[in-house]
Amino acid sequence: MKKINKLGIALLMTLMFASCMDLDINTNPSSLSSSSGSIALRLPAMQFWMGHTHQTTGFFAALVNQQITLSNRGDRYGSLAEWTAANNTASTYPYQAFYVGAAGTFNDVYRMAEAEGAYHYMGVIKLFRAMGFMVMCDVYGEMPYIKALGDELNPAYDDGKTLFNGALAELEEAIALFGKTQEIGAKILKDGDAWNGGDVDKWIKMCYGLKARWLNNLSKKTDLYDPVAILEAISNAPQSNDDNTVIRHENSTNVVKDNLWGDDIKTNYIYIWLLNWSRVYYITKWYVDLLTDFDGKGIVDPRADKLVPSAQIKGGTEWFRTPGVDMQSDIRMGTKWRSPALYDASTKKWTVTETTDSTVISLQTKGIHTPNYRDVAEDGTILNTGTFYVRPDAPTHLLCYPEMCFIKAEVLFRQGQTSPAFDAYKEGIKAHIDLLNEKLVADDVNISKKAITAAERDAYLNSAAVGTAADLTLGKIMMQKFIALSFSNQNWNDMRRMDYSPNVYRGWAEPYERTSGNNDKKWIPAGKQYRRLGYVSHEFNYNNANLAASHPHALLDDIRSFPVWWDYPNDDYKTAD
């Protein structure tokens, strides 16, 4: 991993995005060494890459779990949506963002912080390590951990149990470090912190929130699942939206690009992945149904207009909400889709035509990187509202209060405490609506950007869709959690924990292409499910022997159908049928 360390040093150029933090005038930012740049100067770059690690994984998860899909099923990302996972599909990016982008400077920054007694920076590094290696555990199952960031060029792999427990242990170390008083003269966290503005209490609550999330992921392991420990972690995690850790993004003309992929480091990660590429993505019908027909009650969630693209039709007098792409139909196998926004060459104007059964609206959003895309016609008609999480200035919700509510609801429901479970479930929905409202605007004419009123929120909370304590189910908890954690890898974690059960995720089923003769089932054999990403080509090419030793199917196509450690009842997960 020494190569990765050196690459990480070069990537410190991304620090330029914090315009108020300039390198020393005598330092060449393209040739930073392990001794140049203060810990405060280095932190924003690591935060950028940790954010990318979080959200690129969430993007791929959204394709696997049927939140979104792609128009072209032959595309490498389109294949994720049909569970045909070609070699190297999606596997490289979480690995690169973490190991190359972020982790390459962990050791240097930790030593520098330790030397000056900057315990809070040390805590951040421990937290980053815990977060990153847990993502490696979640999506790959096995990865180098113990020797990953040292001098060995070909480090040995560690199993999922080691990764999981190591991440939890480092999280505890982070909590202890955040709780210490820094030495006099040590760099204060506020000087470099782009996530929480130096608020140590928020960092501690983030640690406990992650602990609750990860402990709850052990629900299949009856000997390890500890409801008391989970609830205790939640009691120290975010207690309201004021405690959330959120990354704020910008739609800025002052573009600063990273040195790994050349992406703008200011804009929202999902916007970059979905819209800065020559691909067209759509919301699925199943996801639309969550927001318009939750629990089969036919009641429209006030969040539907914020999360599902719409367009104005009939001269701007009516709204058309996309029905989404039905992944349980053959729509991607030759059917032509129709966008309501059409360009009339004779008038040189954009209009919205009458919609048909094949009309769908993409996730395309106008922004600094899509300047030629038209979301508003010349006469002011809105051609595409876009969706909350995919705008260039949309916030990234890293660890937030609504998730804690839903974890609490799940734990209490499993214990048979339906009344307090319902209270937590209902509070999670309310908190997520309020969280969206932090970005939404009360008087915006775009229904996707217009704030949800208290009356709309409360009417939904008291509706038959949300229900009562008497009709609460685990499925309702998990589906509401899915909405609140849109574009999060945790949704895929949860679906795997629930074995993709339609009894939990009402209306969900494997994609149609999965059962068709056009699907190559060598990646995910018939009768099995999508359980992990394939291994990274870099590891095949440069660490093949250790990779081969990490799992009996490591070098085989069907590795994607094998559970990771926490997704199996015991430690024999590598030989799971």
pLDDT of residue 84: 82
Contacts of 574 (CB under 8 A, 6+ apart): 159, 551, 552, 553, 562
Helix (H) or strand (E) holding 310: strand 310-313
The tokens describing 538, both together, are 């870099």
Query: What pLDDT does residue 380 have?
Result: 87
Task: Compute φ and ψ for 268, nearest 5 degrees.
Answer: -60, 140
The pLDDT score that the predictor gives to residue 450 is: 96
Q: What is the CA radius of gyration of the chain?
A: 23
Report residue 43 as tokens. Answer: 């932190």
Angle formed by the axes of helices 474-484 and 401-414, nearest 10°: 170
**Coil, strand, or helix at residue 98?**
helix
Query: What 3-state DSSP class applies to 362?
Result: coil
- Under DSSP, is residue 504 helix (H, G, I), strand (E, B) or coil? coil
Query: Which tokens sit at 96?
Result: 């690169």
From CA 11, how far away is CA 354, in angstroms rounded? 49
How much is the pLDDT for 88? 56
Q: What is the pLDDT along the chain (577 residues), one digit of tens a residue?
A: 433 433 333 333 333 333 233 323 233 332 334 455 789 999 999 999 999 999 989 999 999 999 999 888 877 788 889 888 765 566 788 898 999 899 999 999 999 999 999 999 999 999 999 999 999 999 999 999 999 998 888 999 999 999 999 999 999 999 999 999 999 999 999 999 999 999 999 999 999 999 999 999 999 999 999 999 999 999 999 999 999 999 999 887 777 777 666 777 888 999 888 775 668 899 999 999 999 999 999 999 999 999 999 998 887 788 999 999 999 988 888 766 777 777 777 777 777 776 776 788 888 888 877 777 788 888 888 989 989 999 999 999 999 999 999 999 999 999 999 999 999 999 999 999 999 999 999 999 999 999 999 999 999 999 999 999 999 999 999 999 999 999 999 999 999 999 999 999 999 999 988 877 666 678 888 889 999 998 888 888 889 999 999 999 999 989 999 999 999 999 999 998 7
pLDDT of residue 345: 73
CA separation for the pair 248, 195 (Å, rounded): 8
Separation of alpha carbons 437 and 453, rounded Å: 9
CA 282 to chain centre: 17
2-275+530-575 is a CATH 1.25.40.390 domain = yes
- For residues 79 and 64, what is the distance between their CA atoms, to the nearest angstrom? 9
In this predicted structure, what is the pLDDT of residue 36? 54
- C-beta separation of 388 from 306 below 8 A: yes
CB 59 within 8 A of CB 274: yes
Tokens of 100: 């190359």
Burial of 454 (0-12, 13-18, 19+ CB in 10 A): exposed
- Rounded CA-CA distance 316/526 in Å is 47
